[in-house]
Structure 1
Amino acid sequence: MPTVKLKNTITLALSVRDRHVSAQWYEKHLGFETLYHADEAGWSEMQTKTDGVTLGLGEQAEAAPGNMVPVFGIDDIETARSALEQEGVRFDGPTETIEGMVSTATFYDPDENALMLAQDLT
């Protein structure tokens, strides 16, 4: 039995230099739909052609090509994080919250691949 119960959603988070330019590119070339731009958070989200899978664009001064982080939707991030930590899973710092938007926590698999839990607060 798994330690945490994930929702049926996943966001693939990419580091980009300009979210608006990148969103236009994904709309034009792959037919994705922009769901929203959260300029105060430096984040944009797009609906892919796959149900339950979104593409998140995180704006960075320097993009990190090849750096994609799967973000797993969760109903209760604190309970899930606690359960994983009790099993020795390593997290990268505290849970981060953007009030009224999302709480996220980055953790690592045995090969140091970054993964993230996200609780929707909207």
Structure 2
Amino acid sequence: MSVITVDDQITIALSVRDRHVSAEWYQNTLGFQLVHHIDEAGWSELQTNTQGVALGLGEQVEPQPGNSVPVFGVADIGVARKALEEADVQFDGDTETIEGMVSLATFYDPDGNALMIAQNLAV
């Protein structure tokens, strides 16, 4: 069963207090390149210096340090989620959709580590 891979990109998502300040830090300190700020979604994304690896910054009032979430792209989030649920994978709530942008669903591995699947709706 391979429902996770759709492209050559993985995004590591971090919770931060201020995406704009954090994005500037990652640009100035580590040389990452800003891809975009999506203010209505509370999301910023940077391309790291490693091909195929992006860094996503999600704004949180009280971020939990050390909490990173790998986000795997899927072609069809409904199909991927159903296959994972049939394998008894536990999800954290419903799939969230930001119209014209992305659909996201958070799930957990057997040790409780958060992972996410995402379908790009902008294509």
Deviations 1:63-99 (A, max 9, x none): 2100000000111110011011111111111100000
Aligned to 2:29: 29
Structure 2 residue runs without a partner (length 5+): none
Aligned equivalents of 2:52, 2:94: Cα separation in 1: 26
Give SS of 1:75's match: coil
Deviation at 1:3, TM superposition (A): 3.9
**Structure 1 residues 16 and 5: CA distance shift in structure 2, 3 A:** closer
Identity of aligned residues (%): 67
Q: Which moved more, 1:64-73 or 1:5-14?
A: 5-14
Alignment of 1:53-72 (within 5 A): 53-72=53-72
What residue is the counterpart of 1:103 in the other structure?
Answer: 103
The aligned counterpart of 2:113 is 113
Q: What is the deviation of 1:4? A: 1.4
Normalised TM-score (structure 1): 0.96
**Residue aligned with 2:20, SS:** helix
How many residues align? The count is 121
Checking the alignment, whether the CA contact within 8 Å between 2:102 and 2:121 is kept in structure 1 is yes
- Give the TM-score taking structure 2 as reference length: 0.95
Q: For residue 3 of structure 2, what is the amino acid of its counterpart?
A: V
Runs of 4+ with deviation above 3 angstroms: none
Q: CA RMSD in A?
A: 0.9
| Counterpart residue type for residue 89 of structure 2 | V
- Give 1:5 deviation, angstroms: 4.2
Question: Any stretches of 5+ residues in structure 1 without a counterpart?
Answer: none
Q: Contact 1:5–1:74 at 8 Å: present in 2 too? A: yes
Question: SS in structure 1 opposite 2:110?
Answer: coil
